Structure 1
Amino acid sequence: MENGLRNPSETTGKVITCKAAITWGPGEPFVIEEVRVDPPQKMEVRIKILFTSICHTDLSAWQGENEAQRAYPRILGHEASGIVESVGEGVMDIKKGDHVVPIFNGECGDCLYCKCEKTNMCERAGVNPFMTVMVNDGKSRFSCKEGKPIFHFLNTSTFSEYTVVESACVVKIDPDASLKTMTLLSCGVSTGVGAAWNIANVKAGSTVAIFGLGAVGLAVAEGARARGATKIIGVDINPNKFTKGRAMGITDTINPRDFEKPVHECIREMTGGGVDYSFECAGISEVLREAFLSTHEGWGLTVILGIHTSPKMLPLHPMELFTGRVIIASVFGGFKGKTQLPNFAKECMQGVVNLEEFITHELPFEKINEAFQLLIDGKSVRCMLHL
């Protein structure tokens, strides 16, 4: 094997049999089974996954919290890194042997969205939780030994030794970069840092409140710290997260359970009227309201990052928007994956963002169920699985 790959000449154009973690139903333990992975078709790439980690979107999908994610059997996972094993017809910017990270929100480069500087959405390869098969032919590239199809997840399906993704969802990175740390750019770190840089455009000397100190919230803190924010308030009901938060830029902490009054009132008192920017990273409507009201009247900006699976509408009265506050949502931190992520990766290599701090645990791929339990128990930020 070269660079962790089977001999490409032996596998190119052929079905590969490998191990994958399959979920057969909501909340059921992952089962490591042999699967068949078809060759990549037109504008597709087959990747040998070397590292994959787990985020709350994987957790909510596994638990079946959203109807869009209830498709079984399925291979979850969307945060990973690896080496290209082969490419399909028409793929010009990626070749076998390239070091890459798959991304759930792709960039085809040709559609109206990709050509617009105002968005990082993509008409063909944008994030779509309802998509369970490949775009080209509406079929899966995974199957059981018996031939039963296995569904895809968020354009990536990284809980497998090999996966097939749209070329629009594959980002080539510097071969000198650590694949282990680059894994974090597939989702969490890019989402959080990008929200601070690209969406909010946090300014030096500003004040920030972050609601929810998981990996995305901590990435927001890293991004705000790198931009020179002077007060970064971390809000979470798990005080065990505060130590890690302080190591990553958090200057002040609030546990809502320690106060009888609403959190937004506490933050207004701490900041003389409210923060310049707030980030909602919990996916809870009541938290979103607190985040919105914690910003300063006249110019406060709230960025929604949490995934809201509840059918509840926004917990805001229309007149509350007439105070000058603004609310906006962000997908993948506003990054256009293929054109902007490589430069962000270089900045991370230069130490602008400390990626190592996010990795709190490492386990072999076969212990994926233990990794999920660490996340459920609030003990891990990112558990890195080695394939």
Structure 2
Amino acid sequence: MATAGKVIRCKAAVAWEPNKPVVIEEIEVAPPQANEVRIKIVATSVCHSDLYHLLESMHKDGFPTVLGHEAAGIVESVGPGVTEFQPGDKVIPLFLSQCRECCFCKNPKTNQCEAAWTRIRQEVMAGVESRFTCRGKRVLQFMGTSTFSEYTVINQIAVAKIDPAAPLEKVCLLGCGVCTGYGAAVNTAKVEPGSTCAVFGLGAVGLAAVMGCKAAGAKRIIAVDTNPEKSEKAKVFGATDFVNPKDHEKPISQVLTEMTNVGVDYSLECVGNVAVMRSALESSARGWGVSVIVGWTDMHDIAIRPGHLISGRTWKGSLFGGFKGKDGVPQMVKAYMDKKLMLDEFISHNMTLDQVNDAIELMKHSKCIRTVLSVSPQ
């Protein structure tokens, strides 16, 4: 392409400081270096992890940055040493890399990757490297991806090639939220046919967890949320019951235990709240219950009485739904193309990159499930 090897000036949403609106700026995107891919972002969606960094954790060293990590695009050019991708390929950026060479990537028990810990500075949720500058300043790349930009540069170990027929404005959701929730049920909890499940939190991740429980054959799926408007949407994805903790004076764990006699077989926490994590564990059946922490937070410690685990419950964590990105994301795209996976139903709003602050406000006030931003024409 005519832009290969050159700096690209393009539009991006820059978060200059925490807890302030992002600003649409012209940034410079350098050409990809060795083992890197430059991608034209076609569509990106707003995930709660973006808000977590901007409005909750607000780490002062994590700014300025370009947020965004749930997206899909087209390869514009590749750097030296890249053989897996070529210009024109449709791809999904991955916030969790898969180098395929480390002991974690080679172990089927995990989707962790050693390179992810050296490539991303976890405390500031940004890549060690950045190919962005704006107003003469270096701008961080959020989670090593930064998809609130018309172009971004990502290491090839953090990019998944997908079906060229896939609609990017739909499959962008597989870059984080849908895989995270769905995989937490299918890969991490390993929900069994005929089981009873409870999903705490009905944002996109929670609804995807509901969908995963249904796909795994659960007979009863109890959706838990303090927003009564989420009830009908949960049923679309397979929930059989809806419980609003605000409707009960008893602890929600007691409510669910009474509903199921012994507690649920599987519970999934999709909020990122340590109190809810504890409630989810206590809602699972003593003796065999499995509870999975899916929601992200790194701001608080969690406490539990040892007896809740000694009695036989299992407590697990799930990052990106247990999917190894390069392998799992294309499979999820295929499942959508084969009409075995819902994606359209998650999209409550469609906007442009210029409206990113409006999209952030919608999520901040729980007025959306997923807002997809159109970034660049295909």
Instruction: Identify the TM-score tier after normalising by the shorter chain.
Output: over 0.9
Sequence identity percentage: 48
Name the aligned partner's letter for residue 327 of structure 1: W
**Residue 71 in structure 1 maps to residue 59 in structure 2:** no
Tell me which of 217, 237, 248 is aligned to 1:228: 217
Instruction: Indicate how the Cα distance of structure 1 residues 240 and 201 shifts in structure 2: closer, same or farther if over 3 A, else same.
Output: same
Shift in Å at residue 30 of structure 1?
1.1
Give secondary structure in 2 for the equivalent of 1:269.
helix
Q: Which runs of 5+ in 1 are unaligned?
A: 1-7
User: 1:324-363 to 2 correspondence within 5 Å?
Assistant: 324-363=312-351
Aligned pairs, number:
373
Question: Structure 1: how far apart are the matches of 2:304 and 2:272?
Answer: 15
Q: Which runs of 5+ in 2 are unaligned?
A: none
Question: Structure 2: how far apart are the matches of 1:365 and 1:35?
Answer: 14
User: 1:206-217 to 2 correspondence within 5 Å?
Assistant: 206-217=195-206
The aligned residue for residue 320 of structure 1 is: 308
The aligned residue for residue 297 of structure 1 is: 286
Question: Structure 1: how far apart are the matches of 2:168 and 2:219?
Answer: 32
**Residue 94 in structure 1 maps to residue 94 in structure 2:** no
Tell me which of 99, 110, 122 is aligned to 1:129: 122
Give secondary structure in 2 for the equivalent of 1:246.
helix
Instruction: Indicate how the Cα distance of structure 1 residues 131 and 96 shifts in structure 2: closer, same or farther if over 3 A, else same.
Output: farther
Shift in Å at residue 340 of structure 1?
2.4
Decide which moves more: 110-119 or 47-56: 110-119
Once the two structures are superposed, residues 197-222 of structure 1 have per-residue CA deviations (whole angstroms, 9 ceiling, x without a partner) of 11111111111001111110000001
Question: Structure 2: how far apart are the matches of 1:139 and 1:213?
Answer: 35
The aligned residue for residue 141 of structure 1 is: 131
User: 1:146-165 to 2 correspondence within 5 Å?
Assistant: 146-165=135-154
- Which TM-score applies when normalising by structure 1? 0.93
Q: Is the 8 A contact 1:131 1:155 kept in 2?
A: no
**Residue 58 in structure 1 maps to residue 47 in structure 2:** no
**Residue 118 in structure 1 maps to residue 109 in structure 2:** yes
Q: Is the 8 A contact 2:178 2:208 kept in 1?
A: yes
The aligned residue for residue 174 of structure 1 is: 163
Question: Structure 1: how far apart are the matches of 2:300 and 2:226?
Answer: 23
Give secondary structure in 2 for the equivalent of 1:287.
helix
Question: Structure 1: how far apart are the matches of 2:204 and 2:61?
Answer: 24
**Residue 306 in structure 1 maps to residue 299 in structure 2:** no
Question: Structure 2: how far apart are the matches of 1:53 and 1:341?
Answer: 16
4+ aligned runs moved over 4 Å, structure 1: 131-134
Tell me which of 4, 9, 12 is aligned to 1:12: 4
Q: Is the 8 A contact 1:264 1:290 kept in 2?
A: yes
Tell me which of 268, 276, 293 is aligned to 1:287: 276
Question: Structure 2: how far apart are the matches of 1:17 and 1:133?
Answer: 21
- Which TM-score applies when normalising by structure 2? 0.96
The aligned residue for residue 38 of structure 2 is: 46
Once the two structures are superposed, residues 311-368 of structure 1 have per-residue CA deviations (whole angstroms, 9 ceiling, x without a partner) of 32x2212232111100010000000111222122111211221110100000111000
Question: Structure 2: how far apart are the matches of 1:341 and 1:367?
Answer: 28
Once the two structures are superposed, residues 358-384 of structure 1 have per-residue CA deviations (whole angstroms, 9 ceiling, x without a partner) of 000001110001111111121100000
Question: Structure 2: how far apart are the matches of 1:271 and 1:256?
Answer: 16
For the aligned residue pairs, the C-alpha RMSD in angstroms reads: 1.4
Shift in Å at residue 77 of structure 1?
0.5
Question: Structure 2: how far apart are the matches of 1:270 and 1:133?
Answer: 43
Question: Structure 2: how far apart are the matches of 1:322 and 1:73?
Answer: 46
The aligned residue for residue 251 of structure 1 is: 240
Q: Is the 8 A contact 1:125 1:168 kept in 2?
A: no
